[in-house]
Chain A
Amino acid sequence: MKNSLLIHNNNVPFKNQFAKTIAFKPTGVDIDEYITHDIIPQIKKLNPQIIYIKDNLSSNYLELYGLRLVYHIRLSQELGVKRLLPIVLLSDLDSSLLNRLSSMGRVLFTKNIFIAKNSIEAVKKIDTLEIKPFKEELYEDEFLNLIEVEPPKDYLSHHDISNEWAIYRWAKFLKVDSEAIIKNREKIASMLYFKYLLAKNPIEIEKKNGIQFVPRPPEKSGKVLYIDDEWAKGWSDILKQYFSKNQNIEFKTFKHDFKDSYKYIIKSKAKKKCEEYEPDLVILDLRLSKSDHSQKEITKLTGIEIVKAIKNINPAIQIIMLTATGKSTILESLYEHGILGYIKKEHPHDVSISTKDNFDKLKKLVDKGLDKKYLKEVWEIQKKVLELHLPNEIQLEVKSIFELLDTDMENRFNYAMFAIVKSIEIITNIYTEEKWEDGKRYAYWKNSNDKISSNYGNTNDSTENKIRTILDEKLFLGDLNIHNSLQEIIKIRNNTIHPKQGSVEKITEDNILIWFKMLQTILEKIEQ
Chain B
Amino acid sequence: MKKILLIEDRQSRQQLFMNHTNIDLNEYRDILDNKIGKAYDEVYESFQNRDFDFDDYAMVIVHKSAFNGDTQEVLYGIENECKNRAIPLVLFSGGITANYYEEEKSFKKLELNSKDLYSQNLKMFLENYRKSGNIGLLMLSYGQRWKLDIVLNCMEKINIFIETHKDEEDILYDEFVNHTEFHLLESLKVQYYKPTIENGWLYLSEVEKIALSIALYIKESLTYEK
Contact = CB atoms under 8 A, between A and B. Distances in A.
A27 to B, nearest CB: 8
Contacts, number: 104
Contacts of A93: 152, 215, 218
A63 B99 contact: yes
Interface in B14-49: 16
B120 interface: no
A157 B65 CA distance: 12
A97 B222 contact: yes
Interface stretch (B51-59, B122-130, B141-149, B186-194): B141-149
Interface string B81-121: 00000000000011111111111000001000111100000
Contacts of B149: 60-62
Nearest to B142: A62
B172 interface: no
Given A62-B148, A290-B12, A119 B98 contact: no
A163 to B, nearest CB: 13
A119 B102 contact: no
A98 to B, nearest CB: 10
A32 interface: yes
Interface string A1-13: 0000000000101
Contact of A14 (B113, B142, B163): B163
Contact of A155 (B115, B138, B155, B160): B115
Contacts of A382: none
A418 to B, nearest CB: 56
A152 B96 contact: yes
B164 interface: yes
Interface residues of B, number: 39
Contacts of A202: none
B116 A28 contact: no
Nearest to B165: A13
A152 B95 contact: yes
Given A11-B156, A62-B142, A152-B95, A31 B100 contact: yes
Interface string A466-510: 000000000000000000000000000000000000000000000
Q: Which of A92, A93, A119 has the most CB of B within 10 A?
A: A92
B50 interface: no
B98 A68 contact: yes
A100 interface: yes
Contacts of B99: 63
A13 B156 CA distance: 11
B153 A154 contact: no
Contact of B153 (A28, A59, A65): A59
B159 interface: yes
B98 A156 contact: no
Interface string B149-176: 1001101100110011000000000000
B2 interface: no
Given A31-B98, A62-B149, A120-B163, A154 B114 contact: yes
Nearest to B79: A28
B101 A118 contact: no
B13 interface: yes
Contact of B101 (A32, A56, A58): A58
Q: Which of B98, B100, B215 has the most CB of A within 10 A?
A: B98
Contacts of A92: 152, 155-156, 159, 215
B209 interface: no
Nearest to A151: B97
B222 A152 contact: no
Nearest to A291: B12
A354 B149 CA distance: 43
A154 B93 CA distance: 8
A152 B13 CA distance: 16
Contact of B95 (A58, A101, A157): A157
Contacts of A26: 100
B97 A193 contact: yes
Interface string A138-163: 00000000000000111111001000
A191 interface: yes
Nearest to A290: B12
A448 interface: no
A120 B159 CA distance: 12
B12 A11 contact: no
Interface in A56-90: 56, 58-63, 65, 68
Nearest to B225: A100
A60 B163 contact: no
Q: Which of B16, B100, B138 has the most CB of A within 10 A?
A: B100
Nearest to B110: A60
Contacts of A59: 101, 103, 153
Contacts of A100: 222-223, 225
Contacts of B159: 92, 117-119
A119 B148 contact: no
Nearest to B93: A154
Given A97-B222, A119-B163, A154 B101 contact: no
Given A92-B155, A97-B219, A153-B113, A65 B98 contact: yes
Contacts of B222: 97, 100-101
Given A62-B142, A154-B113, A154-B114, A13 B101 contact: no
Contacts of B101: 58-60, 63
A30 interface: yes
Nearest to B219: A97
Contacts of A27: 102
A73 to B, nearest CB: 16
B217 to A, nearest CB: 12
Given A30-B96, A191-B97, A156 B16 contact: yes
Interface string A92-116: 1100010011000000000000000
A32 B111 CA distance: 13
B83 to A, nearest CB: 12
Interface in A395-424: none
Contacts of A60: 101, 138, 141-142, 149, 153
16 contacts: A26-B100, A28-B102, A30-B96, A56-B152, A59-B153, A60-B138, A62-B145, A65-B98, A68-B98, A92-B155, A117-B159, A118-B159, A120-B163, A152-B95, A152-B113, A290-B12
**Which are the 10 A-B pairs with shortest beta-carbon distances?**
A154-B94, A61-B152, A157-B94, A153-B115, A62-B149, A100-B222, A154-B114, A31-B98, A154-B115, A153-B113
Given A30-B97, A31-B97, A59-B103, 20 more contacts: A11-B156, A13-B164, A28-B102, A30-B98, A56-B152, A59-B153, A60-B101, A62-B141, A62-B142, A63-B99, A92-B215, A97-B219, A97-B222, A118-B159, A120-B163, A152-B96, A153-B113, A153-B115, A153-B116, A155-B115
